[in-house]
Structure 1
Amino acid sequence: MEGRLNPWLQIWIQPREVINQQLERENREKYFILMVMVYGTLSVFTGYEQNDMDVNIGRIILISIVAGVLLGPLIFYFTSWLTAVVGRWIGGRGEPGDLRVATVRGAYIPGLAIIAVNLIQLAVEGKIYFVSSYAQFEAMQLGLIEGTSEYPLISILTYIAVVWTFVINVNAVGAAHGFSAWKALLLVVIIGFIIAIPLVLVTMLLVSFGLI
């Protein structure tokens, strides 16, 4: 009988096996809401970007907590439901609960690697981490700063973390639906179009009315 795999460690190298085991667990979604809120807060915090040099860390932390706690669970349940529904269009068998397991175990936990690299970058750069590249370039042109914040090693680590997290996520979704990682990749592309098309249409409509 296959031994119990550690979902925090072995998800990195055995994503399908870990997800298959987690799907069979009783009370498999225990602590999920808390994990989603924490992950959402950290994601918003490390992904925050502004177009001016006046950085208020307290305000960024507050925005991150509110967004992570309120929007995190909503996005989590919606995307899990959508991935389950669209997956069944192409032969999958996963239910929303199965995709919630795949999302937390196969996307959020590996995603902590990206957050960790971003936090290292924040520790190195300081407040300028939250300033967009465009704003940094303008400030450099005005002589307010000596140069933009670019660290090749951190960029490489971020790239590796993003790519590997995506690979794990695709395999996790495939395991939850009972099909291959390639089919799961197709599913991700379809969902991308489903989400992107309405956003593009709304943007075009707002532009046509001169609202943006």
Structure 2
Amino acid sequence: MNPLVSIWTQPKETIRYVLEYKTWSYSFFILFLSSIGVGMTSFAETDLFSSLPLIAIILLGILSTFIGSIISLFIAAGLYTWVGKWLRGNGNFNDMLQMVPIASIPLIWLMPINLIIVIIFGKALFTDSYAMLSGTSAILLLVNLLTLGVSIYSTVILSKGIGIVHHFSSWRGFGVIMIIVGMFLVLLTPFIVILMFILFASIV
């Protein structure tokens, strides 16, 4: 079984295969590949590091995405394990840590598309002024919509994976994700309210 291909048609079987036959190094390799797929255009239209060579901007994007993904992986795996146990799951952190990167496999398939965009537009892709051109903006919009669609499917895979690790349904796995999202919204709401109050006060 090739997880890079089978994840599209057999997500549950692929996750079980990886958990049974692969090691952590494979999951981290998947995480690295997905970081390349997404990271190479992560600074598009930002005008950040515009003084650097194109290759340096791309490498910084990939590196920052990979580091952020690793940090997020450990936090997410801990939360999915913890919250899953609230819902009577019996999974463990190690299996969750190995499973979570598998949900990012669809993002790897964005790599050729983003590479073509970088080749066509070059360094101009990463400057804010160039983003004003309608052609570039339209293409990036299409890519962003594609990325959104792929990300939604990754969430479906993640829900199934959480269910497999905790030995309960995929819907309950999706519930774990929603509970965590709700927790963050509750925690962030006071800060958002305070920020809006400060902005409103400054305008008045």
The SS at the match of 2:3 is coil
Q: Which residue of 2 aligns with 1:14?
A: 10
Where do 1:8-87 residues align within 5 Å? 8-25=4-21, 28-40=23-35, 42-52=37-47, 55=50, 56=52, 57-58=54-55, 60-87=57-84
1:75 to 1:153, Cα distance in 2 relative to 1, 3 A: closer
State the TM-score, normalizing by the size of structure 1. 0.71
C-alpha distance in structure 2 between counterparts of 1:80 and 1:187, whole Å: 11
1:96-107 → structure 2 map (5 Å cutoff): 96-105=93-102, 107=103
Look up the match of 1:150: 138
The alignment's C-alpha RMSD in Å is 3.4
Q: For the Cα contact (< 8 Å) 1:37–1:73, is it kept in 2?
A: no
Q: Which residue of 1 aligns with 2:168?
A: 179
Counterpart of 1:122?
A: 118
Measure the CA separation in 1 of the matches of 2:119 and 2:191.
38
Show structure 1 runs of 5+ residues with no match.
Answer: 140-144
Aligned residues: 197
Distance 1:40 1:194, change over 3 A: farther
Q: Which amino acid aligns with 1:149?
A: S
Amino acid at match of 2:38: S
Q: What is residue 188 of structure 2 aligned with on the other side?
A: 199
Post-superposition Cα deviations, 1:9-50, rounded to whole Å, max 9, x if no partner, equal: 21211111121232233x621344454345335533333245
The residue type equivalent to 1:36 in the other structure is L
Provide TM-score, normalisation by structure 2.
0.74
Give the stretch that moved more between structures: 159-168 or 179-188: 159-168
Amino acid at match of 1:10: S
2:108 to 108, 112, 126: 112
CA contact (8 A) 1:117 1:157 kept: no
1 CA distance for matches of 2:60 and 2:151? 24
Q: Tell me, what secondary structure is at the counterpart of 1:47?
A: coil
Q: Distance in 1 between matches of 2:9 and 2:185?
A: 31
* Structure 2, gaps ≥5 residues long: none
| Higher helix residue share | 2
Question: How big is the shift at 1:113?
Answer: 2.1
Give the % identical residues.
25
